[in-house]
Amino acid sequence: MNVIVWTEGAKADLLRHYNFLRDNSSIKAGKIIESIVKAGDSLKTFPKRGVAIEDSPAMRKLVVPCGKSGFTIHYLILDEDVIILRIFHGRENRPV
């Protein structure tokens, strides 16, 4: 059985996205964050569901549909664990 580990960076991303979204609607923001968490937790059953990232076969990304751009969960598969590293909105500038 796989274990899902949310890194501090991923938790901070969830909070950052929630804070940005709640300016329009705290209820909608909560539902969006809930759908991101649910998608991340679904990797417990299907860890290879996301697309492999070219440079590293252990690194993957999973798109969570939401509006026009959605969110992308970046994660790593290590043995039986799934490590969720970061969560980005489709339109945000990402660190290199």
Q: Tens of pLDDT along 56-82?
A: 778 999 999 987 889 999 999 998 899
- In angstroms, the Cα distances linking 30 to 17, 34, 45, 48, 75 are 10, 6, 24, 27, 22
Give per-residue pLDDT as tens, 19-63.
988 888 888 889 999 999 999 999 999 998 899 988 777 899 999
Would you state the CATH architecture of domain 3-89?
A: 2-Layer Sandwich (3.30)
| Residue-range domain boundaries for the chain | 3-89
The whole model's pTM is what? 0.88
- The predicted pLDDT at position 95 comes to 58
Place of tokens 């059953």: 45
Is residue 93 pLDDT above 90, yes or no? no
